[in-house]
Each structure stands twice: as structure tokens, then as C-alpha cells.
Amino acid sequence: MDPAEYLVTTDKSLFDVAAIHAYLTRSYWSPGIPLETVARAIDNSLCFAVLRGREQIGFARVITDKATFAYLADVYVLEGHRGQGLSKRLMQAVNSHPELQGLRRFMLATLDAHGLYRQFGFAAPASPGNLMERLDPDIYTRRRLTSSP
């Protein structure tokens, strides 16, 4: 496949939300996430899509105040399109976006892509003991069970 066939864009009108949801619901970080939650997250974030024609190939979402802080989430490239530098192109688009310049802190969490993110300046937190989280990993499963008839 020719890398020129792919477009990286922030134009949400081109996004295939159903395809993004289909990937995220099978990902290790958001299994079972409801479509409505994905749509709301996209609406309220700075998002990037990798497209080949109208086909949704990849995605990244940045939660940010566009001044001091950003959090990178939901990054993926479909399995059949990996190995062509698309994740790097996606990260270059994120890293160079004008609304993400001059941030004091840009964070992410990853299970297995540390090598990719290191290429773009990410590293383990300088003071991991300062970081805290409130985590509810079963929220989508529990919500689905309680909303069933």
C-alpha cells in the first residue's frame, strides 16, 4: 500500500464513529465501551483520524485545555495497515498540531507502545509518586448489566 493513499485529518465530519467504536470496544483499554460514550468523547476532544478514502484506518484522541495540559488516548492503527509508518505519521500530526504547542504536561498511558511514544519525547513520569488516579476498569460492563431489560 502506498503511504500517499492515507490522509491524517482532524476534520470530524470525515470520521467513521461506528468504526472507531468497533475498534475501541475490542481494545484492551476500553472493552465494551458504549457507542454513545465514544461519540461524546470525540465531540469533546481534539481528534485525529487516519483515513484511506472513506475507510477509518487509525485514530488518536487528545483531551486538552489547549494551554497547559493534554492527555493522549485511544490511539490505534488497524492491524492490516501496520508496519507502514502510519502510527508515526499520526503521532507527527498530534505533536505538530498548533493547539498542542507550549503545553507544560502531555501525558498518556500505554501497555505496549513505549518505543513509538519515546520517539516523540514521551518518557516515564519524573515523579511517578506524585501521580494519582481514580480507576473503574469495569464501568462499561457494569453499566451494560444494569441497563439491560
What is the chain's mean pLDDT, rounded? 94
pLDDT of res. 145? 60
Pairing of strands 105-108, 46-52: unpaired
pLDDT of res. 142? 81
C-alpha cell at 41: 468523547
So where are the chain's domains?
3-147
Of 10-14, 113-117, 134-138, which gets the smallest average pLDDT?
134-138
Region 80-90: mean pLDDT is 95
Q: What percentage of residues in the chain have a pLDDT greater than 70?
A: 94
* Per-residue pLDDT tens over the stretch 87-109: 999 999 999 999 999 999 999 99
C-alpha cell at 148: 439491560
CATH topology for 3-147 is Aminopeptidase (3.40.630)
pLDDT of res. 146? 59
pLDDT of res. 148? 54
Which candidate, 97, 115, 83, places its Cα nearest to that of 3? 83
In Å, the largest CA–CA distance within the chain is 49
Q: What is the pTM of this model?
A: 0.91
For 36, list phi and psi in degrees, rounded to 5: -60, -35
* Per-residue pLDDT tens over the stretch 14-38: 999 999 999 999 999 999 999 999 9
Categorize the per-residue pLDDT at 69 as very low, low, confident or very high, splitting at 50, 70 and 90: very high
> In sequence order, what are the beta bridge partners of 60?
48
Residue 68 in contact with residue 105, Cβ under 8 Å? yes
